[in-house]
């Protein structure tokens, strides 16, 4: 049974670790330099804690990297720097980044003797709701798909690093773009004193108050993700301005009181009125 390492055992990373543990894998991570919240999430998921990144690399057969999008390339550099004198586990970049960013990470890791699988996650952590899809690409993607996943389903989309990230950038542009539109509509409606009729007209087709609150709690991560989507669309010959603007939207949301909540503490019964109030000064 392969040992799985985690670089980034936050809300999503800990959820994936829990899903792999349920399949019988030993899952290890380090909390060095991480927050108290990450420590709680890792312990709740039953992950085995090691002193540092070098220890994770030494023990693991496969290492999943699940960091905020803006930290993805730095994570690759840290793995490369920590690898001296250790084994070279298979690295899986599960971050929400553009194909060009994951290619840059692959170059860093390949130079240090690692193989990289490109990965992308669609859906919430398995600890929140089972059924996340894990898109994988690269020459060794099948090895990751063959792990004993539970509560999440791997999908191999090709042998080219960058293909899985291209899937994520396209799907996230819809999911998070629509959520950004809905959140802006709620804010504007509240400012104009017409929140109730607007919510009655839109219903929950484009997002529930709970989903909007979850997104606000992750707004600081979405800023870099929107910029990665803009990079991806620019590389496809499309204008990047739409998602550069969404980066500005989420950057503003990230400064509001509602964004101070952690995703796991957002109340399911939250109302549109509280969303609007939590997104004002």
Query: From residue 16, how far is each of 150, 160, 189, 242 by CA, in Å?
Result: 9, 23, 37, 31
Torsion of CA 41, 44, 48, 50, to 10 degrees: 40
Same domain membership, residue 204 and residue 128: no
Prediction pTM value: 0.94
Task: Tell me which residue range forms the domain holding 110.
Answer: 3-159
Choosing from 141, 159, 177, the residue where a domain stops is 159
Same domain membership, residue 186 and residue 151: no
Q: Which residues pair with 93 in a beta bridge?
A: 65, 118
Same domain membership, residue 206 and residue 147: no
Same domain membership, residue 228 and residue 174: yes
User: Residue 104's domain is classified under what CATH number?
Assistant: 3.40.50.720
Query: From residue 4, how far is each of 35, 75, 91, 109 by CA, in Å?
Result: 21, 17, 10, 18
Apex CA 260: angle with CA 183 and CA 199, to 5°? 25
Question: What's the residue count for the chain?
Answer: 281
Q: How many domains does the chain have?
A: 2
Same domain membership, residue 253 and residue 144: no
Token digits of residue 72: 């993805």
Contact between 219 and 259 (Cβ < 8 Å): yes
Please spell the DSSP secondary structure of 73-104, one letter per residue: HHHHHHHHHHTTTS--PEEEE-S---HHHHHH
Same domain membership, residue 171 and residue 139: no
Same domain membership, residue 101 and residue 201: no
Torsion of CA 208, 270, 66, 31, to 10 degrees: -170
Choosing from 134, 159, 184, the residue where a domain stops is 159
Choosing from 125, 159, 193, the residue where a domain stops is 159
Same domain membership, residue 192 and residue 123: no
Q: What is the pLDDT along the chain (281 residues), one digit of tens a residue?
A: 899 999 999 999 999 999 999 999 999 999 998 899 999 999 999 999 999 999 999 999 999 999 999 999 999 999 999 987 778 999 999 999 999 999 999 999 999 999 999 999 999 999 999 999 999 999 999 999 999 999 999 999 999 999 999 999 999 999 999 999 999 999 999 999 999 999 999 998 899 999 999 999 999 999 999 999 999 999 999 999 999 999 999 999 999 999 999 999 999 999 999 999 999 87
Same domain membership, residue 250 and residue 172: yes
Same domain membership, residue 120 and residue 8: yes
Same domain membership, residue 180 and residue 155: no
Same domain membership, residue 268 and residue 144: no
């Amino acid at each position: 049974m392969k040992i799985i390492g985690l670089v980034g055992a936050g809300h999503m990373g800990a959820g994936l670790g829990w899903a792999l543990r349920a399949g019988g894998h030993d899952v290890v991570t380090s909390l060095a330099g991480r927050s108290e919240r990450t420590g709680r999430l890792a312990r709740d998921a039953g992950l085995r804690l090691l002193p540092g990144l070098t220890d994770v690399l030494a023990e693991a057969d496969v290492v999943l990297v699940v960091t905020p999008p803006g930290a993805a390339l730095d994570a690759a550099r840290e793995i490369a720097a920590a690898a001296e004198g250790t084994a070279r586990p298979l690295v899986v970049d599960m971050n929400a980044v553009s194909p060009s960013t994951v290619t840059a990470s692959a170059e860093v890791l390949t130079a240090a003797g690692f193989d990289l699988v490109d990965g992308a996650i669609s859906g919430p952590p398995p600890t929140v709701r089972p059924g996340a899809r894990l898109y994988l690409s690269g020459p060794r993607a099948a090895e990751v798909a063959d792990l004993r996943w539970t509560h999440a389903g791997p999908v191999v989309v090709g042998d080219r690093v960058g293909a899985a990230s291209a899937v994520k950038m396209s799907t996230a542009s819809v999911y998070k773009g629509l959520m950004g539109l809905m959140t802006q509509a709620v804010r504007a409606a509240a400012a104009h004193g017409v929140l109730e009729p607007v919510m009655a007209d839109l219903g929950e087709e484009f997002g529930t108050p709970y989903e909007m609150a979850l997104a606000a709690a992750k707004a600081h991560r979405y800023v870099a993700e929107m910029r990665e989507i803009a990079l991806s669309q620019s590389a496809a010959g499309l204008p990047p301005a739409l998602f550069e603007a969404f980066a500005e939207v989420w950057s503003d949301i990230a400064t509001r009181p509602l964004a101070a909540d952690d995703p796991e503490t957002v109340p399911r019964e939250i109302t549109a009125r509280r969303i609007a109030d939590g997104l004002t000064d």
